[in-house]
């Protein structure tokens, strides 16, 4: 069974990532003519603030603080990702930008964990051949996302 907290956090993450580009096109932000780097800095400052607050809560509860280089790599990738989104939204729109982000993230995560980290995928009998169905499901998801935008 799926851990309910993990599921709720995953949905909340998807909602937050899917909605933050909307604010880039609000009349106040457009009128302010904020440079993408400034917008990213503002967004990153709040992420840092909440991250530090969560670390302080964890430390106060006596939980160990564990460092992983993957966190640094993720943060390093997140900043150019955010900048690209901030620049893309006014140029191509929220829908296309979110579609590209979600589709690229889904495909990249699947391929990295399947091929790079050798995560097991379930194989199915398809007309006598054992094939992984996950790539077809992923393709269907990406095509479905695109169908919602275009």
pLDDT digit string (tens) for 82-112? Answer: 888 888 888 888 888 888 888 888 898 888 8
Please state the pTM of the whole predicted model: 0.65
Amino acid 138: pLDDT: 87
Quote the CA–CA distance of 97 and 55 in Å, as a whole number: 31
pLDDT at 1: 55
* pLDDT tens, position by position, 30-75: 888 888 888 888 888 888 899 899 899 999 999 988 888 988 888 8
Per-position DSSP letters for 5-27, written without gaps between them: HHHHHHHHHHHHHHHGGGGGGSH
pLDDT at 2 over 70: no
């Amino acid at each position: 069974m799926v851990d309910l907290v993990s599921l709720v956090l995953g949905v909340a993450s998807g909602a937050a990532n899917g909605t933050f580009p909307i604010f880039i096109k609000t009349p106040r932000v457009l009128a302010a003519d904020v440079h993408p780097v400034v917008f990213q800095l503002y967004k990153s400052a709040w992420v840092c603030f909440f991250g530090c607050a969560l670390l302080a809560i964890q430390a106060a509860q006596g939980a160990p603080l564990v460092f992983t280089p993957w966190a640094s790599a993720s943060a390093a990738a997140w900043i150019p990702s955010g900048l690209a989104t901030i620049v893309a939204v006014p140029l191509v729109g929220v829908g296309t930008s979110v579609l590209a982000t979600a589709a690229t993230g889904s495909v990249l995560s699947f391929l990295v964990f399947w091929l790079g980290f050798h995560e097991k995928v379930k194989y199915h009998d398809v007309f006598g051949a054992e094939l992984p169905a996950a790539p077809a499901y992923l393709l269907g998801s990406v095509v479905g996302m695109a169908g919602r935008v275009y």
